[in-house]
Every structure is written in C-alpha cells, then in structure tokens.
Amino acid sequence: MNDSFNPDGKPGAPARNGKPGARRRKAAPDAAFEIWLERGLHAMYDSVAEEPIPPELLALIEKDRKQGG
C-alpha cells in the first residue's frame, strides 16, 4: 500500500508539488484548544497516573533489568 499523502485525498497520488509522500504543514493548534485539551486530559487521567504500579509489573521490570534488557 502506498502511504503517500496528497491534499486532494487520493491515496497514492503525488501531492500538488509533484513529490510523492510530500506533506503539507498543519497550522499550529490554537492556544485555547491546547489549554482545553490539557485540562481535559488531566481531569480524565491524573487519578490513573497516580495509581501505584502493580507488584507483578514491578517484578517483570526488575527481571528484565537484571537480564540486561
């Protein structure tokens, strides 16, 4: 499958500049949206991030660390 992108939305077709796979730059996100997104993500996931790591997972990490992985 050809993953090139073009502004016309036709998969595999070259972009308007003639270069396959060339991508347009996206406009920088609006600052208000960034604030809204950050607050929303914190509201949804802060409690999850504060949960303790399960002992089974810590044991796997330590085992991998000792094996040099």
What is the pTM for the complete model shown?
0.39
Q: Residue 28's pLDDT is what? A: 62
CA atoms within 13 A on the CB side of 29: 8
Q: 10 lies in a domain?
A: no
Q: Which residues contact 44 (CB under 8 A, 6 or more apart)?
A: none
Q: 9 lies in a domain?
A: no
H runs (alpha helix) in the chain: 31-49, 55-66
DSSP structural state of residue 28:
P
Q: 7 lies in a domain?
A: no
Q: 56: domain range?
A: 31-66
Q: Residue 59's pLDDT is what? A: 97
Give how many domains the chain has, as a whole number: 1
Q: 11 lies in a domain?
A: no
pLDDT in tens for each of the 69 residues of the chain? 444 444 545 555 555 555 555 555 555 668 999 999 999 999 999 999 999 999 999 999 999 999 986
